[in-house]
Structure 1
Amino acid sequence: MASAWSRVFGFERVSLCDWPGMNASVIFLGGCNMHCPTCHNYNLAWHSDTMDVIPQQAIENYLTKRARWIDGVVITGGEATITPGLADLIRDLKHLGMPVKMDSNGMRPDVLQELLDEDLVKLFAVDVKGPYQKYPVLTGGTTSPEVAEENLSQVFELAKQYPDKFLFRITKVPVLTEEDIQEAESYLPEGFTLKHQEYVPPRREHAETDSEARQVSGDMVA
């Protein structure tokens, strides 16, 4: 199996907003199973073959040296759950004493289940894109309403079993109405709320994307 470390195309040394209440480093994995037209990390998601890999040793050295000030690591993408060897990467981080939060679009509940079974992830932040019937337009035609409902329903069942391990969020992209957001919120299990995130259009006309701006080369990590 390929190493997930070979899919690390970005690393943010310190973030105060990716894990509420935590000083976190952020690992960006390349590749995605969706093609959302509103994606901010589109180069990372769809064109990671044009980006440089951040060396595992450089990241581990940084986390070891800064362990006193870093509370944990956020793994995001792209979509982390499609990355082969993901569990091994998380185990490496746990060996360094780093708890892990992971962002996901919820389309691989089987992967979330495996990570929960091993208690590898402390918190999952799952995106609910909108009402199921709008998933085709929200995801660039990659996800049908039936697939979205099947997978997210499984994620919601996991959240019932592990209520402290999940939070859910929605980005208010232009195609969504207030009624759409309310419908998406109605899917959540009792006791959960849907965090609303304001939409900021991707700056695709710029040479440097948000994901590229957060990427650092290996020698800059140390």
Structure 2
Amino acid sequence: MLMADLFLKYVKTEKCVNCGFCGSVVRCPGSGYCIGCGSCYVACPYMAREPVEDHEPRRKIKIIVDGTVYEVAEKTTVMRALESLGYRFTRFPEENAIFSPCLTGGCYSCPVIVNGEVKPACHTEVKDGDVISTNVEGVEPLRIVEGFSPHQVGGVGTPYWVKGKAGYIEVAAFAAGCNLRCPTCQNYFVTYNSALPAMTPNEAAWKLSLMRKRYGVDRMAISGGEATLNHDWIVKFFKKLRRLNPDENARFHLDTNATVLTRERIDDLIMAGVTDIGPDLKAFRLETFQLITGIEDKELALKYLKTSWDAVKYIADNYYPEMVFMGIGIPYNRFFYPTLEELLKMGEKIASIDPDVQVCVLDYRPEFRRREIVQPTPKEMLRVKEALNGVGLRKVIVQTIAGHFGP
């Protein structure tokens, strides 16, 4: 029997420059044909893929989901198949729904068990005879993690007095998958990676701990992508990291866009061992947030924006500075902020939370899909610092091509 539901496929356009990104970094989950996952579409640096209606007839195939036999369309994702059966997927964590924030197969936040193996529902082809379980309780979580390396500067959540030291100051890992679609993504090779094998929290914690010993540092960090998407994974990662590094000098650092960092998730992470956290605040106004993040859905964008600001205030009110060090990141480029008006509103709001909290302004460089923007000069960044100091922030650092300045 054939199915006539509307499906999409993603095809190359004349914009393609054969950069190879959609083959080397993005792993196509289809078996020689497009199953409409959309990974190549959102990941292409040159926007050289476009969606078109796929009118190819699709057979019905039989699968078993949570013990019940169903018929679904072939040549699509497990996620779409489950949606057709009434399962609900969301891009913000909710009760009675499967959280599927990245939709590119890196974060494994939408895990299902397919024929005995943990797979991301958003990035796995459904096949005839599949036995699928949506109950993953007690199953070891997975996530793609890469870029284990030493760093001389650190991240947003690195205290300024540590940044000034010579040599390496921390080791870091980077988690694939992100819920945002920033056209200026500064780390898109990590964000959209679905080609590497996934790791357990224990594997990643062991690897980062060994790197700490190798480079003789006390700080261990994870960033992304967005490290907090797969909550089960990140909590177990920090718990294992703390067990492997029980000494009082060890510091456990998380950098995050904070857009899904609910109060409950923050509590879990602090209890798991996080000692340093660097939430990014992308914007003050919803329109600017959408411009920077590429999130077109206003309701979702507003939820992300409010959650990030609430996370900063919640951490400041309940954990900072006694239990956790917090450094706040703000992206800056004239493309986002033609004037400093909105940036100053952000500064005023942060100062009302805590004028002594560390704020690091990041000079966003031309990258990914916005290669035409101009990276701010050191002089421009120093003007930003002066302006933020002027609204009451006492510890402002600016990142520049000439190094970090401040506080």
TM-score (norm 2): 0.45
2:244 aligns with: 96
Contact 1:9 1:54 in 2 (8 A): no
Amino acid at match of 2:176: G
The equivalent residue for 1:128 is 281
1:74-132 residue CA offsets vs partner (Å, 9 max, x unmatched) = 1101101102421111111112214310001111222222212x151011101111213
Is contact 2:183-2:369 (8 Å) kept?
no
The C-alpha deviation readout for 1:1-36, integer Å capped at 9, x for no partner, is 565553213211x11211341721111111111111
Between 186-195 and 103-112, report the one with greater CA deviation: 186-195
In the aligned structure 2, how far is the partner of 1:169 from the partner of 1:92? 27
| Identity level (%) | 21
Q: Given the alignment, which residue of 336, 349, 373 partners 1:175?
A: 336
Bigger relative contact order, structure 1 or 2, given CA contacts below 8 A and separation 6+?
Answer: 1
Match of 2:196 among 51, 57, 60: 51
Structure 1 pair 94/163, CA: closer, same or farther in 2 (3 Å)?
same
User: Where does structure 2 lack aligned partners over 5 or more consecutive residues?
Assistant: 1-135, 163-167, 372-407
The answer to whether the Cα contact below 8 Å between 1:103 and 1:125 also exists between their aligned partners in 2 is: yes
Structure 1 residues 42, 147: CA separation in 2 closer, same or farther (over 3 Å shift)? same
Secondary structure in 1 matching 2:171: strand
The answer to whether the Cα contact below 8 Å between 2:281 and 2:308 also exists between their aligned partners in 1 is no
Cα distance 1:145–1:23, how it changes in 2: closer, same or farther (>3 A)?
A: same
Normalising to structure 1: TM-score of the pair? 0.78
Task: Quote the residue 1:73 is aligned against.
Answer: 220
Deviations 1:170-212 (A, max 9, x none): 1213212311211122222123353212122226799xxxxxx
| Cα deviation digits, residues 53-78 of structure 1 (max 9, x gap) | 57865872573475270212111011
CA shift for structure 1 position 52: 4.7
Residues 204 and 11 of structure 1: is their aligned pair in 2 closer, same or farther, counting only changes over 3 Å? farther
* Match 1:196 to one of 353, 361, 368: 361
Aligned residue in 2 for 1:17: 153
CA distance in 2, matches of 1:159, 1:175: 27
1:169 to partner: Cα distance: 1.4
Q: State the Cα distance separating 1:50 from its structure 2 match.
A: 2.4
Distance 2:146 2:309 in 1: 27
Q: In the alignment, does 2:259 pair up with 1:107? A: yes
Report SS of the residue matched to 1:130: coil
Cα–Cα, structure 1 residues 87 and 33, in superposed 2: closer, same or farther, change >3 Å? same
What is the CA distance between 1:141 and its match in structure 2? Answer: 1.6
Whichever residue aligns with residue 6 of structure 1, its letter is R
| Aligned match of 1:42 | 188
Q: Which has the higher strand share?
A: 2
> Given the superposition, is the C-alpha separation of residues 59 and 194 from structure 1 closer, same or farther in structure 2, using an over 3 Å criterion?
closer
CA contact (8 A) 1:24 1:73 kept: yes
- Asked if the contact 2:186–2:364 (Cα under 8 Å) also holds between the matched residues in 1, the reply is no
CA 1:26–1:154 in structure 2 vs 1: closer, same or farther (change >3 Å)?
closer
Counterpart position of 1:60: 206
AA at the equivalent of 2:237: L
Q: 2:348 aligns with which of 166, 183, 186?
A: 186
Instruction: Tell me if the contact between 1:109 and 1:155 (Cα under 8 Å) persists in the aligned partners.
Output: no
Q: CA deviation at 1:140?
A: 0.2
> Where do 5+ consecutive residues of structure 1 fail to align?
207-222
Specify which structure has the higher proportion of helix.
Answer: 1
Evaluate the alpha carbon distance shift between residue 136 and residue 92 of structure 1 in structure 2; reply closer, same or farther with a 3 A threshold: same
Larger Rg, first or second structure (1 or 2): 2
Any idea what the Cα deviations from partners look like across 1:134-179, whole Å, max 9, x if unmatched? 1111110255235412442243122222222211111213212311
**Separation (CA, whole Å) in 2 of partners of 1:10 and 1:132:** 33
Q: Which of 70-79 and 162-171 deviates more?
A: 162-171
The match for 1:209 is none
- 8 Å CA contact retained: 1:109, 1:152: no
